Amino acid sequence: MSAKDWPEDRYQALGAALLERHANFNLVVIGDEKGQSLGERLCSAWGSRSRNLAGRLSVYGSAAVLARCAAYIGNDSGAMHLAAMAGTPCVAIFSAREAPGRWEPFGAKHIVLRQDTDCAGCMLETCVSEGKKCLMQISVGSVLAAAEKIIPIKSGRTVNSGADPIEAELRQI
């Protein structure tokens, strides 16, 4: 729902900053078919070290990809919960439309970014009068700082260098 979506230009800037700071990183967009066009635009902006998998994977395939990621950075969504269940640390960007704590990712290694505003608790699906001011108060810098705190949690984990069925499946997509 659009009231929970952090702005696209901020994701573009965040991805560019992560790619600049981490030469070994690749970015992956996960989501349903509705996110395909957003994923295409983001990956176009990020370049060859990004991959749009929105709408191309099953829930199980998405979980397998997320389990291999250093971090999930994104909106309060099903993908966020899937990442948390797969053991991937999350930087979860929350609007203030609901009460804090209700839908946060399961586990203790996550960072939830949320800004309360005078319209907090609105429960709107589309923010038409306030311009998503609760989300607009979450800066690229604050999300980047949160990401830099959680990335080391998984960055030391090694990946099996043998045949990888997930990588083989992704090459076919």
Residues 54-90: pLDDT tens digits? 999 999 999 999 999 999 999 989 999 999 999 999 9
pLDDT in tens, 119-166: 765 665 677 777 788 888 999 999 999 999 998 755 444 333 334 444
Task: Please tell me the distance from the alpha carbon of residue 37 to that of residue 147, in angstroms, as a whole number.
Answer: 25
Q: Across the strands, what pairs with 91?
A: 73, 111
* Maximum Cα–Cα distance across the chain: 53
Place of tokens 């989300």: 135
CB atoms < 10 A from the CB of 59, how many?
11
Mean pLDDT, the chain, integer: 84
- Which domains does the chain possess? 2-157 (3.40.50.2000)
Task: Please tell me the distance from the alpha carbon of residue 131 to that of residue 112, in angstroms, as a whole number.
Answer: 21
